[in-house]
């Protein structure tokens, strides 16, 4: 599998991170499974070498010894002698998720590690579902944190919650325009707004481009949040602040990412699918969309040489040192 499998490990793919799993552990697990798949193939036939072996001379009654030229296999490159062919694989991590959060997590292998930087520079939005619980406040905004306050919530209605969410979205949309450094009176700004491409030029605080309530059954409520430059802690704090605006308190019981840029839950590999063949298939399936979306978002800023072609031919690609792979010998 070695060289053939190696040539198909360029690009981006998404996995589903379950809650309670650290992103470093996830990355190490994926790397281990890829190395296991690359090293699982049957090793090539050993090269033959000529050796002169001492043996009895044929037809001699006096048992004289002579040297005879014999072809024997060379075991210099045998796995039992030099160890596995692949000992290290660089797997890049996209926008991270903390331990408690779950959902879509994008990883890159080979040229995909550089594409992760392009994804960051494109300032793509991400979707989350955030579950809240009314009636108490904790020190870390999580449901299982240390309780610091309990309140009533009988006065909270769906209409009041929707009103608060509309105010939050409006204020963040104004901030998005401010951080984009665009003059709204120009044709360029108008065209970007129509195409939904208004993005902050540099780093910024969390910006929410859309927020709505999906389910409301006090004390529980479920929000859908579309945002960028966020951390999961900021999303939990957002639930706390919504509770304060509603004249009560609230904690966050779940943060789940459902989309990261152009990767969704449908394209994310489950834990049982973190193996070489499934990851190769995922990279191949995502390559055309990765190229199209990054070219659309970054335009002239993007080095198209780094993008996978939309008519990508895996068979034409050979092993490359840029993949971040190391072939070990004698390790």
The residues that are catalytic are 98
Distance CA 77, CA 11 (A): 30
Asked whether 93 and 67 are in contact (CB, 8 A), the reply is: no
Q: SS3 for 267?
A: helix
Q: SS3 for 144?
A: coil
Distance CA 86, CA 258 (A): 34
Helical (H) or strand (E) element with 178: helix 158-180
Q: SS3 for 279?
A: helix
Name the DSSP class of 316. G
Locate the DSSP E strands across 90-184: 91-93, 102-109, 126-134, 136-138, 147-150
Distance CA 50, CA 47 (A): 10
Q: Which residues pair with 129 in a beta bridge?
A: 224, 256
For 130, the token pair is: 């955030």
Q: Under 8 Å CB-to-CB from 263, ≥6 apart: which residues?
A: 12, 14, 104, 106, 286
Distance CA 278, CA 15 (A): 11
User: What are the residue ranges of helices labelled H in 211-275?
Assistant: 232-245
Classify residue 152 as exposed, middle or buried by CB count within 10 Å of its CB (0-12, 13-18, 19+): exposed
Q: Which residues pair with 84 in a beta bridge?
A: none
For 14, the token pair is: 């998404």
């Amino acid at each position: 599998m070695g060289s053939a499998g190696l040539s198909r490990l360029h690009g981006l793919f998404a996995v589903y991170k379950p809650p309670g799993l650290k992103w470093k552990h996830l990355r190490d697990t994926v790397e281990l499974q890829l190395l296991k798949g690359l090293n699982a193939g049957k090793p090539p036939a050993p090269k033959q070498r000529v050796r002169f072996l001492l043996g009895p001379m044929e037809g001699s009654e006096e048992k004289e010894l002579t040297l005879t030229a014999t072809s024997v296999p060379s075991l210099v490159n045998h796995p039992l002698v030099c160890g596995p062919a692949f000992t290290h694989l660089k797997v890049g991590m996209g926008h991270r998720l903390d331990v408690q959060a779950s959902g879509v997590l994008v990883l890159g292998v080979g040229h995909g590690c550089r594409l992760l930087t392009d994804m960051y520079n494109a300032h793509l939005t991400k979707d989350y579902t955030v579950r809240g619980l009314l009636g108490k406040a904790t020190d870390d905004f999580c449901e299982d944190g240390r309780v610091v306050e309990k309140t009533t919530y009988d006065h909270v209605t769906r209409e009041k919650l929707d009103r608060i969410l509309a105010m939050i979205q409006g204020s963040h949309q104004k901030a998005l325009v401010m951080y984009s450094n665009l003059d709204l009176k120009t044709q360029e700004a108008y065209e970007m707004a129509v195409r939904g491409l208004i993005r902050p030029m540099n780093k910024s605080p969390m910006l929410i481009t859309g927020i709505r309530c999906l389910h409301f059954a006090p004390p529980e409520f479920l929000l859908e949040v579309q945002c960028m430059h966020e951390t999961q802690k900021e999303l939990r704090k957002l639930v706390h602040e919504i509770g304060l605006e509603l004249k009560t308190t609230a904690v966050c019981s779940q943060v789940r990412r459902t989309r990261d840029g152009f990767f969704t839950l449908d394209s994310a590999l489950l834990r049982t699918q973190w193996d070489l063949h499934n990851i190769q298939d995922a990279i191949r399936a995502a390559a055309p969309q990765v190229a199209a979306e990054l070219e659309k978002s970054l335009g002239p800023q993007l080095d198209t040489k780094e993008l996978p072609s939309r008519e990508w031919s895996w068979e034409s690609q050979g092993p490359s040192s840029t993949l971040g792979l190391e072939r070990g010998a004698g390790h």
